[in-house]
Amino acid sequence: MVNEGTKTVQINLLDGFKNILPAGVDSPLQNAFSNLVDAYKICELDRRTGLALYRLGSLIADNAEPAEALLANTVWSSGFDVSRISLNYASEQYFHANANLLEENETYGKRGNYALNANFILNSLESKSWYMVADVSQDIVQITKLKNELISNINIISDLRADISKGGEDLKSLISSADGILCTSNKMENARHISNVLFNIMRGGVFADNYTIDTLDFFHYCCKSSHSDKDKYFKFVSNFSQKTNRNSICSKAIETKDPDLIRLAFQYLPLRFSRRHGDPSRPWNKFNINLIDQKTGKPAFEYEGNWRDVFQNWEALSCSFPGYLTGMISKFVNSSTFDGYNPYRIDKYGVDWEVIEPDNPWAYVGYWGDHQIIYLLYLLEKLHKIKPLECCDLLGQKWFVYSDIPYQIKKYEDILSNPKDTIIFSYQNDKALKSEINRNGANSVLLKMLEDKSITSIFSKN
């Protein structure tokens, strides 16, 4: 806040957050049972630190069994020597009526708020800054550590500013790696280019470490593809250091002459910063950028999204990372089906399909391949332009495969009778495929030969 006037002013400030949800409440629960959720809410303020906790009295369930709520969302503030804080929504109305905040440290069965009230003087051209920090799903260890920080760390604001600055620099680095920093005389054009690249990498992801592969992540990726081949994968990755070059992994895989290893090596894409996306109506479409692996604390290499949008974004991303064109092409081809009716979504480990919902007008299944093939064509044209021999070498390779998903094309006679209804969703195959994936790994979704259950190659002679 800046006083741009010529006179000193007295400020009576009210700032904060309204209707803060507790930890443990997801969108379906909030959308369908918000009043019930309100009854479970507990909000607590630690007056010494200004740290507020928003939690459930217990997890909301209809089962006759214990369901402890062990996580809390948190809010804290800093910037004023003297301030008043209230967790009650009614306090805001009291402030408007009496120019004063009625403090409240605990609320039960009410919607949580964080209302901050402070009085201060602002001289001409003087400024005042304050911070309000919110976080989600904190456990008791994290909360205790934060509370101690707020008590003992006199440099917490400096640390906060440094962390914000680092976040900005990290984001700038991701944008820069995808050639998003434009410098022309047209500032609006520069800003538009930055925003376009940012939105692009938030969908399809970005190769944050260029062509360097985290060998351990590649090993875990392979193991999730086939649970029974862990020993084979471990033997293969033992040839590499902790960090290695993508070309080295692909070349070594080719030397093994193992179609499974070659396929996994080529289609492995160490993308980061990708979020779920697609039509807003779809239940799976939730904003989710997973930056940190919760088990290891290391950067997470993940991507997932609507098929069409991901490949649209990879088309642009390949201009900055042409060395991954073979990987993008491999992912496209290996995610396609034999009959050309393809799944909705792709992710790091394979494909995902939407289950038909008869009562949901937004629910639908898959895409015809002719709607998608243009993206493959763009990628092939780019590769042919850059490395024509490498593009030609892809033809006939045994490690290109089909995906097998629970969509079935109707018989020709049925299609003639109703050309607008040509696909059957097989609930039986859906259940069987998901069960097999859980048992054996993501390779279970690949089309197999009837005789020996071996994975079918696109270029198989059978």
- Give the span between the Cα atoms of 149 and 146, in whole angstroms: 5
- Give the span between the Cα atoms of 347 and 275, in whole angstroms: 10
- Give the span between the Cα atoms of 379 and 319, in whole angstroms: 10
Residue-wise pLDDT for 256-267, tens only, equals: 999 999 999 999
DSSP 4-71: -SSS-EEEEEEEEEEEEPPTT--HHHHHHHHHHHHHHEEEEEETTTTEEEEEESS---SSSS------
Task: Evaluate if residue 386 carries a pLDDT over 90.
Answer: yes
Give me the pLDDT at residue 204, please: 86
Q: Assign 255 a pLDDT band (cuts: 50, 70, 90).
A: very high
Give me the pLDDT at residue 278, please: 55
Give me the pLDDT at residue 305, please: 82
Number of neighbours of residue 301 by Cβ within 10 angstroms: 24
Distance of CA 373 to the CA centre of its chain: 26
Residue-wise pLDDT for 348-369, tens only, equals: 999 988 887 777 766 667 777 7
pLDDT above 90 coverage of the chain, percent:
67
Task: Evaluate if residue 395 carries a pLDDT over 60.
Answer: yes
Residue-wise pLDDT for 51-105, tens only, equals: 999 999 999 988 878 889 999 999 999 999 878 899 987 777 777 777 778 888 9
Mean pLDDT of 222-242: 95
In this structure, are residues 20 and 75 in contact, taking their beta carbons and an 8 Å threshold? yes
Q: What is Dmax (Cα atoms) for the chain? A: 88
Give me the pLDDT at residue 241, please: 95
Mean pLDDT of 320-324: 96
Give me the pLDDT at residue 281, please: 55
If one compares 132 and 460, the residue with the highest pLDDT of the two is: 132
In this structure, are residues 211 and 328 in contact, taking their beta carbons and an 8 Å threshold? no
Give me the pLDDT at residue 460, please: 64
Q: Virtual CA dihedral for 146, 135, 133, 37, nearest 10 degrees?
A: -120
Residue-wise pLDDT for 288-303, tens only, equals: 778 888 777 788 898 9
Q: Would you say the C-alpha torsion 395, 401, 407, 408 has a positive or negative sign?
A: positive
**Whole-number mean pLDDT of the chain?**
89
Give me the pLDDT at residue 282, please: 58
Q: Assign 385 a pLDDT band (cuts: 50, 70, 90).
A: very high
